[in-house]
Amino acid sequence: MPEYKAPLRDMQFVLHEVFKAEQLWQNMPGTEEVNRELADAILEESAKINENLIAPLSQSGHEEGVKWDDGVVTTPKGYPEAFKQLAEGGWGGLAGEPNYGGQNMPKMLVLLFEEMLYSSNIAMGLYLTLTSGAALAIDNHASDDLKEKYLPNMYSGQWAGAMCLTESHAGTDLGMIRTKAEPQADGTYKITGTKIFITGGDHDLTENVIHLVLAKLPDAPAGSKGISLFLVPKVKVNDDGSLGERNGVNCGSIEHKMGINASATCVMNFDGAEGYLVGEINRGLQGMFTMMNYERLSVGIQGLSAAQTAYQWSCEYARERLQSRAPTGPVNQAGPADPIVVHPDVRRMLLTQKALVEAGRAFAVYVGKQLDVSKFGDGDAKAAAAGMVELLTPVAKAFLTDKGFEGTVLGQQCYGGHGYVREWGMEQLVRDVRIAQIYEGTNGIQAMDLMGRKVAANGAKNLQALIAEMRAFSADSASVAGMDEFLNPLNDAVDNLESLTKFVLEQAGSDANAIGAAANEYLHVMGFTMFSYMWAMMCRTVLSGESQQGEEFDKAKLQTARFFVQRLLPQASALSASIRNGSSTLMDIAEEAFV
Amino acid sequence: MPQYKAPLRDINFVLKNVLNANEHFASLAGREEVSEDLLDAILSEGAKFSENVLSPLNQVGDQEGCVWSEGGVKTPTGFKEAYQQFAEGGWPSMTADARFGGQGLPNSLGLVVTEMVSSACWAWGMYTGLSQSAARLLENYASEDLQNEYLPKMTDGTWGGTMCLTEPHCGSDLGILRTKAEANADGSYNVTGTKIFISGGEHDMMENIIHLVLARIDGAPAGTKGISLFLVPKFLPDADNNIGERNGVSCGSIEHKMGIKASATCVMNFDGAKGFLVGEENRGLQAMFHMMNSARLGTALQGLSAGEASFQGALEYARERLQMRSLSGPKNPEGPADPLIVHPDVRRMLLTQKALAEGSRAFIYWVAQLVDTFYFSGDEQARKDAEELSELLTPIAKAFVTETGLESANYGMQVFGGHGYISEWGMEQIVRDLRISTLYEGTTGIQALDLLGRKVMGTGGKQLMVFTKIIHKFCEENASNPELEPFISKLAELNKEWGEVTMKLGEKAMQNPDEVGAASVDYLMYSGYISLAYMWARMAAAAADGAADDEFLKAKLQTAKFYYDRLLPRTESHKLSMLNGADSLMEMPEEAFAF
């Protein structure tokens, strides 16, 4: 299995040269102290720990998996030690609230750490990022007492966190959950019920696991309006902060899965466990949703990360593996055959991965920037960024994971038969990333969220703002020499997105199924449009002389952009045509007639 | 774990209403006497065996896998017993030559049974499928002595067979293979070398394994023109054709793979093993290619059968799983939520699966009939056309059906949400097992080069014209049928475009040989979508008459419409992408792929 190498140059190019992060940070209270030097130091340290410590545990974790024995969960060899090192390095509190020991770093930067973490080892990464996610929910919604008691140890990685939503009969449809919370005289609650698919629900990495649990009070209204959020520690915490007695929460079993074998996916039994209300009664889902934008972006990054690793490894293999001669004549005359990178179709697979990964990285940072402005910014900019976050989060989650899966499959394909054999590591990437299309809201749910809630529900207001932004960018870039070949396709893509949106919204006026029938393809059209925008931005950086990465790097950027617009962007036309053919063929067929 | 149910209604519809199987059988010399009763009996017995004996082995096989020891390879529990039943039922001899005890039934009929076996348990089916392919090759190429010695026991299933091509340094590029064959005085050869990725190279299901091995005779020309084919048995037969002395061939290890864990993928060591020349010296690849065409169609079947199994599982789940309400109002008001199948996006996934499985079934069955015609028709022109067509369509079937099969299997898993990722539900196994199909028997890229380079450009478009003429004629004949209007005009338009696109690519390729490889996979997928459009139009034509009062036939027309409206637009993207040419693939220097 090859080694992972963090793509630091491309990260720095995107962060500093395309999005001019330093300028942004210095203009927002809360991030003024972050500059390029600090950001680069963080990226370099992150690269080191991920390349040297986290990545080498990926394959052994895949082979060994997590063990469950009578309620005790044991992670693979080396995991507890590595987690401890991550924690001690402060990586768990990178984005955390400074009052409780967090470092308050902007998401634009933190997400590049996440990219490296997941590229190295998704299974290991999840323990850390779910802890950060739980901490974020606590920070946003819990009382000061709870924050003081729990956040410092979560940011420091001494304790881990887990999110407990799903029950066996309720996944997408959380309104149906049954876990109940009975109020006690002392203000606490007794939590009883069974949760499934709880990532990191129990493990041996930390001395405590802090669960955020969705449950219903006895008199709660039915459906999603009767759900409250509770903090339920595995081990109760005494008033002085020391660990007390074990709480009534246990891991009943772990799942055997397609991948992320080193991540414990737990059935969690709550038997009258002591829990503490987070936020208001019956407003638990709202508490979850603030965090969900971050979580969804993070899951999207898993797609990007796995594809980045697959790209690196398949590139390496394609340059070494000798097989057949180039169609235009031998290029490796002394050898028995040419390296497979000479074959046009192998290049197609490599460039597809490259074009998707690099646009994906830029897109993730772009969404990260919106998150940062919506958190640290003020006034109109803050509100506009918040709208953009709402609009783009489902795209980031679903498009990055769908394309990430495609990328890993292409990487595996470059290896031929060896891609199917475990020792080469390619099949693990495919298996590990496959879950990202499913959890944190399936990609179908993301598409519904985008089309229904984020576009249709507000009359496409946020979308119009985005379209205006892209048009302004295009107009502003037209004077930069060499931009035409990237701006023309972008302009077409934006026009298409606008007219397609109009088409679906009109249909939706008379057809309740129109949105659901268009949603998946629509999300992908939007994804391709955003990637087109990202490529145009990157090209503008290069063509206006703002790249500091050197001539070879710059040239490769333009070439990859060209490949994207010529060979991948045309996919948007099929997706659009499919939508324009309407919803009737999806809905006409009777349920009984499917087989 | 989904219980497989053979789709007999659809199989019957395709064979009888679309492809006129009885007429077809009657046109084959020596195969005319397949009566409708016999056909029905074979289908229903094949269904029973697959559903009751094989389907229950599928998950066990994945969990246990094959176990290697010095003494050989042990297959999972129940595999050997199932094979004994299969052999006793006379299945291995179905399509074998009557001279050696075979039943002489047409291959297109054997393939239908193979589809059922494959859906139920692909890994098990590989042992018998490869054995039968090896027997077919010997029927066509081996000397009479070898045939008399080996074929009776291969025909009745006592002995199995393999094909040994790949070596560690050569997969797609067989010209560089190193295994050598030294002539002995008695006319036999000593074969020495190492082969990898040999499916069924060693196992405990059959008493002897007959390897067909590619090797170089001392002094043979370099490259593909110096490769000969040898029969190398695991046990040398004694004078009575019982197994005698053990030959110098052994299994060094088995691979740990992403899937098909119950299929032993072996490293085979030949240490001066006794081998016998099959066919002429240095013409081994020609003989192998013969086998390869049937193996490629067999691999296409893997895409279909996995897609079918996944569709069945997903459909059942979508009807039972209650989650959320329909957007057009509750459909299951008494229940806590509606079944998944009410949601448009779930229907999109299910209908994509259905359209691909049913379209691919008709397509593969048709190609199999063409292969029958080529071998057994008395009509010289029909034979010639069938040869051209089956050569053209085999790479399309292999690559298109496996690529789209993988898409379908992923949808099946996606419909299950988080449960799709969990091993016990069986959906992720379908994806893992199927993933190999775009790699072995020539990767998708290799099939695409074969199609565009050899079959289309190599014949100056002649083979393609055989097909486009058939489609043209079909469109003319059905132009006046109003029921078929939504299909015929689109099909005729695409059929015309197919020729034009091919011409354009031909012109480009004259200027630059890289254009072929750069366009090839897009071209293959484009061709596949048109081929399936033709099959769907034929199915629609067969269904149109009775559709008014038959739910099955009505669903056929609806699925055809879905295919044309929602999947067929993909041709446009492939067209645009390939016509944009090779430059964006070839410009970038190898070093610039990663910084």
Q: What's the pLDDT band for B541 if we cut at 50, 70, 90?
A: very high
What pLDDT, on a 0 to 100 scale, did the predictor assign at position A1? Answer: 77
Q: Which of B271, B284, B282, B275 is nearest to B186 (CA)?
A: B275
The residue written with tokens 């014209």 in the block is B465
Structural domain contains residue A204: no
B226 CA: distance to closest CA in chain A (Å): 15
Identify the active-site residue in B88, B441, B476, B493.
B441
What pLDDT, on a 0 to 100 scale, did the predictor assign at position B595? Answer: 85
Which residue among B339, B517, B592 sits closest to A345, beta carbon to beta carbon?
B517
B451-456: Cβ within 8 A, 24+ apart: B451/B392, B451/B395, B451/B396, B451/B399, B451/B520, B451/B523, B451/B524, B451/B527, B452/B505, B452/B516, B452/B519, B452/B520, B452/B523, B452/B524, B453/B516, B453/B517, B453/B520, B455/B391, B455/B392, B455/B395, B456/B392, B456/B502, B456/B523
Structural domain contains residue A131: no
Residue A102 DSSP symbol? -
Chain A interface includes B169 (CB < 8 A)? yes
Active site residues of A: 440
User: Does B351 contact A574 at a Cβ distance shorter than 8 Å?
Assistant: no
What pLDDT, on a 0 to 100 scale, did the predictor assign at position A62? Answer: 97
Structural domain contains residue A419: no
Which residue among A257, A417, A420 sits closest to B166, beta carbon to beta carbon?
A417
Q: Which of A134, A213, A138, A137 is nearest to A178 (CA)?
A: A213
B555 CA: distance to closest CA in chain A (Å): 6
Which residues 314-343 on chain A approach chain B with CB closer than 8 angstroms? 315, 319, 322-324, 327-328, 336-337, 339, 341, 343
User: Does A166 contact B413 at a Cβ distance shorter than 8 Å?
Assistant: no
Instruction: Give the start-to-end residue ranges of the domains of chain B.
Output: 8-146, 160-283, 445-584
Which residues 454-493 on chain A approach chain B with CB closer than 8 angstroms? none
CA distance B547 to B297: 31
Residue A551: give the domain boundaries.
445-585
What pLDDT, on a 0 to 100 scale, did the predictor assign at position A144? Answer: 97
- Cβ density class A426-445: b for 16+ within 10 Å, e for less: bbbbbbbbbbbbbbbbbbbb
pLDDT digits (tens, 9 = 90+) for B384-443: 999 999 999 999 999 999 999 999 999 999 999 999 999 999 999 999 999 999 999 999
Structural domain contains residue A137: no
- Closest-CA residue in chain B for A11? B595
B441 catalytic? Reply is yes
First to last CA, chain A: 44
The interface predicted TM-score of the complex, written ipTM, equals 0.95
How many A-B residue pairs are in contact by the CB < 8 A criterion?
293
**Residue B187: both structure tokens together:** 């006319």
A107 CA: distance to closest CA in chain B (Å): 24
- Closest-CA residue in chain A for B175? A324
The residue written with tokens 């999806």 in the block is A586
CB–CB of B229/B211 below 8 Å? no
Structural domain contains residue A353: no
A416 CB neighbours in chain B (<8 A) are: 171-172, 439, 443
Which residue among A328, A577, A595 sits closest to B572, beta carbon to beta carbon?
A577
pLDDT digits (tens, 9 = 90+) for A451-461: 999 999 999 99
**Cβ neighbours, 10 Å, residue B463:** 21
User: Does B559 contact A589 at a Cβ distance shorter than 8 Å?
Assistant: yes
**Residue B543: both structure tokens together:** 């269904």
A149 CA: distance to closest CA in chain B (Å): 33
Mean pLDDT for A406-413 is 98
- Closest-CA residue in chain A for B335? A176
pLDDT digits (tens, 9 = 90+) for A76-107: 999 999 999 999 999 999 999 999 999 999 99
pLDDT digits (tens, 9 = 90+) for A7-46: 999 999 999 999 999 999 999 999 999 999 999 999 999 9
Domains contained in chain A, number: 1
pLDDT digits (tens, 9 = 90+) for B120-147: 999 999 999 999 999 999 999 999 999 9
CATH architecture, domain B160-283:
Beta Barrel (2.40)
A441 CA: distance to closest CA in chain B (Å): 9
Question: Mean pLDDT across chain B, nearest whole number?
Answer: 96
User: Does B518 contact A348 at a Cβ distance shorter than 8 Å?
Assistant: yes
pLDDT digits (tens, 9 = 90+) for B547-567: 889 999 999 999 999 999 999
Higher pLDDT, B283 or B172: B283
CB–CB of B271/B213 below 8 Å? no
Q: Which of A1, A178, A157 is nearest to A82 (CA)?
A: A157
Q: What's the pLDDT band for B294 if we cut at 50, 70, 90?
A: confident
Chain A interface includes B525 (CB < 8 A)? no
Interface test with B, best of A260, A567, A576 (most B CBs within 10 A): A567
Q: Which of A82, A113, A28, A121 is nearest to A364 (CA)?
A: A113
Q: At a CB cut-off of 8 Å and minimum separation 6, what does A449 contact?
A: A394, A441
Q: What's the pLDDT band for A172 if we cut at 50, 70, 90?
A: confident
Structural domain contains residue A467: yes
CA distance A351 to A523: 23
A587 CB neighbours in chain B (<8 A) are: 344, 347
Structural domain contains residue A69: no
User: Does B551 contact A257 at a Cβ distance shorter than 8 Å?
Assistant: no
B584 CB neighbours in chain A (<8 A) are: 351, 559, 562-563, 566-567
**Residue B151: both structure tokens together:** 């074929």
A174 CA: distance to closest CA in chain B (Å): 9
* Strand residues in A45-130 grouped as ranges (E): 67-69, 72-74
CA distance B412 to B428: 9
Mean pLDDT for B31-36 is 85
Structural domain contains residue A594: no
* Strand residues in A332-472 grouped as ranges (E): none
Chain A interface includes B486 (CB < 8 A)? no
CA distance A85 to A104: 20
CATH architecture, domain B8-146:
Orthogonal Bundle (1.10)
pTM of the model: 0.96
Chain A interface includes B561 (CB < 8 A)? yes
**Residue B456: both structure tokens together:** 């289309």
User: Does A311 contact B581 at a Cβ distance shorter than 8 Å?
Assistant: no
- Closest-CA residue in chain A for B590? A341
Q: Please provide residue A302's backbone torsions phi and psi, each rounded to the nearest 5 degrees.
A: -60, -40
User: Does B558 contact A257 at a Cβ distance shorter than 8 Å?
Assistant: no
